[in-house]
Amino acid sequence: MKFGSSFFIAARTLMGRPDKADISNRRSAAIPRKEKALSSSSGGMAGAILGIGISLVPLVLVLIVSDGMIQGITRRYMETKTYHLQVAVPDGMDDKESQVGIKAIQSLPGVTSAFLEKNGSGVAVSASSSGAVMLRAIDPAFFSDPGTKGFLTVDAGKIAPAGNRDIVIGSSLAATLKVKLGDSLTLITPNPETAANETAAADFSGYSPRLSFFKVSGIVSAGYRDLDALWAFITPEMGMRLLTYPSSATFFGVKVAHPYANSLGAAKNAIIERLGSVYPDWFDPYLARTWPEIEKSLYKSFGTTKSMLLFIMGIALIIAALNLGSALSTFVAEHSIEIAVLRSVGASDAALKTIFVGAGLITGSIGTVLGLTLGLLISWNVNYLISGLEWLVSAIDSIIAFASGHPSIPLKLLDPAYYLEKIPVSIDFSQIALIATLSVALSAVASLIPALKASRISVQELIRKM
């Protein structure tokens, strides 16, 4: 039996053809009861198709959204905080010496930019509040870097501090400190003289804070609260004055053309080799780290969460495939007479198995196409759907609040206070293709038992029952 005929029988038997109602009704009285029993509904198979389709929707959604969110967060971290690579350098490295290293790095193939950054901790005090800050003193070129500009948006004022008394802070920090553009801000940092003192470093006795006065010249946002709540940018010159070892760190931040590619490791090795010759006295390979090494625990946690979600959704897909197997078993039972007839006209066991595995493949394929289409549509529009849901729930809440007299609390699912402002959609079509293949393969496997049942239907028993 040829595959074409198996496919034809499987497809037609599964999909059926609507009988013309008028003729059916006219003739129905003449159809014997036993023959009517052949007219089984294809509801079970439609349910199986729907089951596979529906189980694929969350799987696709989780895959795309989690990938998008992970990439959204990692990209923000990379472009605005960790860089693609970091090379720790000695504290107090002067501008001339650092420029030699930066130029050496920038000349490497694949490297797009490199900056000297000095950062450390401090406390910011405003007229009405205070909070811990991460002070960052970076080369002004960092703020005009396309990667930085792509993820660091200006809420007010300027993106970079222009003068030594200017400070640019994160939007969440501004909210915590209750300051706006032009307001004064006092920074408390360790006094270099007392911090260097051995006694002060040991038990803080004799520790004297240093107060520095700034004016808020810009409020920026990286779109992620963890970052926006801590940052305060000052000029490199002020950084040299306020941030001193051991309460600060100095490093080269490096950006490359393809931070997600395997070539990142090669770029790291090239930097190690180059800086080894530029700074032979102090440079050591361990001082260079890639972005996955810098934020290892964060990215591992993202990866684990994604894997767990996919695992749960995968179980849903397996259940859907089992449902298909069950529907096909029912289908075989309902069509035992047709199967027996096919046997009587020469269909072999293998041919019958092919027909039913084919039926499983067709059902699985239709369900997969439906599920992937719906999943991709929802994923592409996930931000609109969330906004719509927020609007709807908030509207209902407003009505209830109006009726009860209680204040209304608008729903904010994607509150940047907790997560991203919007979900970045990232579609990896190779992963979608993998899901599709897995789904169709599972359908084929699930149809093996019904196919085996079909091949065991006996024509003799059918004849004896007649």
Partner 1 sequence: MNEQAGAPIVVCRELIKNFESKAETLHVLKGVDFELSPGSSCSIMGSSGSGKSTLLSILGGLERFDSGEVTVGNYALHQLAEKALPQFRSKVVGFVFQFHYLLKDFTAIENVALPAYMMGIPRKEAWAKAKNLLEKVGMADRIGHFPSELSGGERQRTAIARALINDPLVVLADEPTGNLDAANAAAVEELLYGLPSLSGATIVLATHDPALAESADRRFMLFDGKLSAT
Question: What residues line the site for partner 1 (CB under 8 A)?
Answer: 1-2, 4-5, 8-9, 12-13, 15-17, 19-20, 23-24, 27-28, 30-32, 34-35, 38-39, 337-338, 340-349, 351, 459-460, 463-464, 466
Least Å from the CB of residue 44 to partner 1: 15
Q: Which is nearer to partner 1, 31 or 123 (CB)?
A: 31
Q: Which is nearer to partner 1, 264 or 339 (CB)?
A: 339
Least Å from the CB of residue 366 to partner 1: 16
Residue 413 CB contacts under 8 Å (≥ 6 apart), including other chains: 386, 389, 390
Q: Which is nearer to partner 1, 135 or 347 (CB)?
A: 347
Least Å from the CB of residue 465 to partner 1: 10
Contact present, 446 and 328 (Cβ < 8 Å): yes
Q: Which is nearer to partner 1, 35 or 428 (CB)?
A: 35
Contact present, 291 and 74 (Cβ < 8 Å): yes
- Alpha helices by DSSP H, listed for 217-348, are 225-228, 236-242, 263-278, 291-294, 296-334, 336-344
Tokens of 381: 């529009």
Q: Which is nearer to partner 1, 437 or 458 (CB)?
A: 458
Q: Which is nearer to partner 1, 296 or 465 (CB)?
A: 465
Least Å from the CB of residue 411 to partner 1: 50
What is the Cα 274 distance to its own chain's centre?
Answer: 35
Question: What b/e readout covers 224-260, taking b as 16+ CB neighbours within 10 angstroms?
Answer: bbbbbbbbbbbbbebbbbbbbeebbebbbbbbbeebe
Q: Which is nearer to partner 1, 9 or 362 (CB)?
A: 9
Least Å from the CB of residue 356 to partner 1: 15
Least Å from the CB of residue 50 to partner 1: 20
Q: Which is nearer to partner 1, 202 or 345 (CB)?
A: 345
Contact present, 111 and 251 (Cβ < 8 Å): no
Q: Check residue 322 and report its DSSP letter.
A: H
Outline where DSSP puts E strands in 178-272. 184-190, 209-221, 231-234, 248-256
Contact present, 118 and 240 (Cβ < 8 Å): yes
Least Å from the CB of residue 444 to partner 1: 21
The H or E element containing residue 378 is: helix 349-380
Look up tokens 């700074």; give the residue.
Answer: 279
| CA dist list (Å): 384 to 31, 57, 342, 372, 413 | 54, 17, 52, 19, 12
Least Å from the CB of residue 333 to partner 1: 16
Least Å from the CB of residue 466 to partner 1: 6
Q: Which is nearer to partner 1, 3 or 213 (CB)?
A: 3
C-alpha gyration radius of the chain: 33
Contact present, 179 and 119 (Cβ < 8 Å): no
Q: How many CA atoms lie within 13 A of 56 on its CB side?
A: 33
